[in-house]
Amino acid sequence: MIFVDGLPISQPRSRSQGREILAYLLEHPAVVSSSDRLKDSPETRVSSAGRSLLGRFVYVFQREYATVDPDIVQLAGTDEATTCVGLVIRSRNSGMTSVSHMDFPGVVSNGLEQMMSSIVVNDNPGDTAFDVHLIGGFDDRPKKHSSDEVTSERKQKKEGFSLPLCSKMVEALQDSQWKFHLQTLCVLKHNTKIDSMGNACPVISGILVDTSSGSVMPASFDRSSRGPDEIVRRIRLTVCSEDPKWKGKLLETYDTSRDRFEIVPFTWVPDWRLYALSLQELSDSEYLLGCSTSPFAEGPDFVENERRKWDYLIKNPDWRYTFVNKQPRIFQRTEDGGWLRCR
């Protein structure tokens, strides 16, 4: 159940309860105020060069989640979210904090269960309260006069991608047995700005949470800090749709108890190389229009990051080169807070 300012919100009785809850929350004075404060906060730029100043942190990619112990990890976050939403859940009792990068409604229900099962230890729903933040997504509904070319290329629904995702997320939180105290809901209209070309784009596309205090701030990460195993984790997101064990689930990567990353083996067929070759022939603009849910809102390194991923698949069409002897790729924390592959 969702609480705002310490009070539970009422439960709509309709088939569109998620959208009704979302509409109500977006107009709530406390939600508007917290969104404004967040947008007024300076962005924290995370780089491996400043790692010693930030302390230990954990980064999650799209459709991943990680739960961290505040006694071990000081910060956790994600970025590159346009139509996606970053979800932060923190136990008021233990400080255990889970961060996910939700990308479509189909992973929300199971994803929330995954996050909660990793936070909660022998707690009863009535005994524990959780602070929750939803940040990301923007008003990406197509303009009424969008060109036919763009509309057909994106095959985007009239409602956009962000609205169904946000609706499903608040519905899942409201239906849960746990008590979620909503601290931030900076999504959709609260997270939308118009750029110099007249395109809608998100105000905030990355977040960082301080696990000790629970405070959340806007953030961006450079390539060196989106680790470890950046390219392999990006590839897993791309090919996981063909793996039934990940259907409707968030991707697990971080081992909370050992403070290490473990990327379990996953496979891809040689046909992915042919697909990658065809994509590499596209121009940057063609790539954006064909491969992004928000081609006019992506970060400046979106195409470059995707091309690096496809280049890896072209050079390594056999997944067994990446997962030697079908063993997981394991990364341990170094003394300076970085990561070192140990297997």
Q: How confident is the model at residue 158 (pLDDT cuts 50, 70, 90)?
A: confident
Mean pLDDT of the 190-201 span: 94
Q: How confident is the model at residue 14 (pLDDT cuts 50, 70, 90)?
A: confident
pTM reported for the whole predicted model: 0.93
Report domain extents, the chain. 2-341
Which residue type does 78 have? T
Other Cβ atoms closer than 10 A to 165: 24
The answer to whether the CB of 259 falls within 8 A of the CB of 71 is no
Indicate the CATH number for domain 2-341.
3.30.1330.200
Q: What pLDDT shows up at residue 33? A: 97
The answer to whether the CB of 167 falls within 8 A of the CB of 100 is no
Query: What is the spatial distance between Cα 143 and Cα 39, in angstroms, rounded to a whole number?
Result: 24
Mean pLDDT of the 79-84 span: 97
Q: What pLDDT shows up at residue 52? A: 57
Query: What is the spatial distance between Cα 254 and Cα 114, in angstroms, rounded to a whole number?
Result: 13
- Chain position carrying tokens 């990793």: 118
Q: What pLDDT shows up at residue 128? A: 86
Structure-block tokens of residue 151: 């509309």
For residue 266, is pLDDT > 50?
yes
pLDDT tens digits, 209-230: 999 999 999 999 999 899 999 9
Q: What pLDDT shows up at residue 245? A: 86
Nearest to 54 by CA among 340, 341, 336: 336
For residue 232, is pLDDT > 60?
yes
The answer to whether the CB of 52 falls within 8 A of the CB of 336 is yes
- The DSSP bridge partners found for residue 339 are 333
**What value does the mean pLDDT of the chain take?**
91
